Chains A and B, each alone.
Chain A
């Protein structure tokens, strides 16, 4: 019994030890805090189920290996167990779905008045960032990826679409991606919480140079961002604050 408790406790704490969960970035936006918690809850629950079922699969192989030609008792049903192993997993997935239900709403919530709005267009094979109410229009190429500049602690609305094939706008450090599809305009809010430079990529296969369709996201202070806007998007005026990637 003590062993079981030890295994269960270790399993719960294991993913929380060290920095990050299995290589998962810490999440550098408000929205990513919620998604990071979901990853921890789901992977912990998954680990408990994995340990339990691994034990249940391997134990019979050790305990009841064939030792004679005699036949074991030929039982083939047990209503109580059958109800239990249907009912308990059902309750578990209902619980996990409840998490999903609340957090999906939080992650996808869109504020009525974002501080800034950026049109993002994916094309073969780079990105175009246009800041609303400004002349700032950044167009990248596979060889010189564009940079998306975002203010920290402010909400930026992204309006996302594609001018050709399907792409997907993914910033791993934000734990979030959304598809860019021609004819469809997708909207979501990003509220970065940490200064820094982060990597962004296209996640949906879009042809030859898909692998090179990257961009960078630079999260700057609100003051820097305002100055950057006033100077028409010249990156020279940004102070080199924040860790890279």
Chain B
């Protein structure tokens, strides 16, 4: 008989020391999380460059830098990449990295399914962008691809089909990942980690995963129907043959408005992780905040047709009423964050600055959201630059600011490398000023009468000036992103080491080494509240919560 000795890998093994093959074949949740996040940052940069082109074209009236078809391809790819290939997958990647660490587990419940989900997402993204190589160019019908505009008789190019197939792949990827998150959180929690002691980011990901399971099948369905219409003689959306273009809008927006919350709840979670750490206080109103996430997920079942107020084909008042109600749980989160900072001991590190920027920007997006939830206001604002401003305040000023906050907060944990606080603050300042310069004036442009998705506009009073301001803002934002890239590159080259818990963190990921070892933990502290690491380091302040 021979005996086998199992030795655990040494803690602190660097993640970067593996070969390329090891990365491609890895089922480690940390590797997959990093792959997701890097891919989504890549697409963020691509989509950002596309946005810069849009702003360049609109810098003054009657510009001819881009033709109408090119312009349509660019705004379609910009929206598609930001939503499906950047903001959502960054959240999935961050959750992949964090959920097992936050609940004290060695990996996800289904590691191979996890790798499979990443790779179909990866090839889905390539499929969407491969449209630029085919005859007729990439999809040019907007990220919503409304039929009958996306019908084969009008959008004849293969780019639209590649867009459909690529998006189907990313939606399947999302469904598989959501199943994995829910199973992992319900079954793999460490002893003592009860549901009411889960870190809020993990809670928000449970709510997000439930919404993915409800919404993505609707997206898959509408894409499949559109594919059948285009390629196999279907007539689901052809009014001339008994189909109905409004059906497309219903199926799309039933997915689409969940998608809005899928893009924001994970980032509510990010902000909620950052604020208590830099306020040196426990989260204010933990239970209310968790319940508010599920209230948003529940209410989001009944708001999709607020995107259809102007169709004249839906019960406007019902969808308006439910949309108004969403403001209440969203407001609760704001007061949770304010209550956490209240009488705290606040230090404005880069992640905290991004959290504050998130709150200020998202508040403006939330307020304009309540305005356009009212049909009599939406009749003017729908499909205008007012709407563009609203949605970018929520997703750009909101989600993207939280993405930068998350990177500055967890970069030391993920790579064992500290980013520069000085450059981080420059990055924040430029992004905050640039963002508000670009998007605030768009509210006014929309009210004055500028519709969205136009490649050129006449020289009407004030339009040129406001568009010029918006374009200048986009240059300031680009400078901020450049500082960020510079920071990441120089920090990675300098490889200045970092402590396991550089910020004084609360949740379990700060207990293990930076970066974490392959099996995540060699020991765990006792878990008696939602901030076990804080409790272990400050027994005199520790308090038992949850059941």
- A binding-site residues for B, Cβ under 8 Å: 21-25, 34-35, 38-39, 42-43, 46, 49-50, 53-54, 56-58, 60-61, 64-68, 70-78, 81-82, 85-86, 89-90, 93-94, 96-97, 99-101, 103-104, 107, 124, 164-166, 168, 170, 172-173, 175-179, 181-184, 186-188, 199, 201-211, 245
Contacts and interface: CB of A to CB of B under 8 A. Distances in A.
Contact of B281 (A46, A49, A76, A178): A76
B131 to A, nearest CB: 17
Contact of B154 (A64, A172, A207): A207
A173 to B, nearest CB: 8
B112 interface: no
A56 B370 CA distance: 20
B475 to A, nearest CB: 24
A164 B311 CA distance: 15
Nearest to A93: B324
A206 B49 CA distance: 24
Given A24-B447, A38-B377, A210 B453 contact: yes
Nearest first, the 8 A-B pairs at minimum CB distance are A183-B239, A172-B449, A211-B454, A60-B341, A182-B239, A205-B453, A85-B335, A203-B383
Contacts of B148: 164-166, 182
A202 B451 contact: yes
Nearest to A102: B376
Given A165-B148, A170-B449, 16 more contacts: A22-B443, A50-B367, A71-B280, A72-B280, A78-B284, A99-B374, A100-B374, A104-B376, A107-B375, A168-B382, A177-B380, A178-B379, A179-B310, A183-B240, A186-B312, A201-B449
Q: Counting chain A CB atoms within 10 Å of each CB, which of B311, B327, B370, B379 scores highest?
A: B379
Contact of A85 (B141, B149, B331): B331
25 contacts: A25-B449, A35-B379, A38-B376, A58-B356, A61-B346, A65-B348, A66-B347, A67-B345, A71-B345, A77-B286, A89-B328, A101-B317, A103-B376, A104-B316, A107-B376, A166-B148, A179-B310, A179-B311, A179-B312, A183-B245, A203-B451, A205-B141, A206-B149, A207-B149, A208-B72
A176 B240 contact: no
Contacts of A68: 345
A211 B456 contact: yes
Given A77-B285, A178-B310, A71 B541 contact: yes
Interface string B282-317: 111111100000000000000000000011110011
Interface stretch (B36-44, B168-176, B358-366, B400-408): B358-366
B152 interface: no
B376 A66 contact: no
A78 to B, nearest CB: 7
B221 interface: no
A63 B327 CA distance: 28
Interface string B128-153: 00000000000001100010110100
A48 to B, nearest CB: 10
B53 interface: no
A184 B311 CA distance: 9
B368 interface: yes
Contact of A60 (B344, B451, B543): B344
Nearest to A89: B331
B186 interface: no
The size class of the interface chain B forms with chain A is: 35 or more
B68 interface: yes
A67 to B, nearest CB: 8
B324 A96 contact: yes
Contacts of B449: 25, 170, 172-173, 199, 201
A68 B456 CA distance: 56
Interface string B315-358: 01100110011011001101101110111111110000000100
A26 to B, nearest CB: 12
Central interface residue in B68, B311, B325, B449, by most chain A CB within 10 Å = B449
A46 to B, nearest CB: 4
A100 B376 contact: yes
Given A208-B72, A211-B455, A46 B367 contact: yes
A64 B454 contact: no
Interface in B465-492: none
B444 interface: yes
Contacts of A90: 325, 328
Contact of B320 (A61, A76, A104, A201): A104
Contacts of A164: 148, 154
A57 B379 contact: no
A42 B383 contact: no
Interface string B232-248: 00000001100111100
A76 B325 CA distance: 26
B527 to A, nearest CB: 17
A216 B334 CA distance: 45
A168 B69 CA distance: 20
B74 to A, nearest CB: 13
Nearest to A95: B324
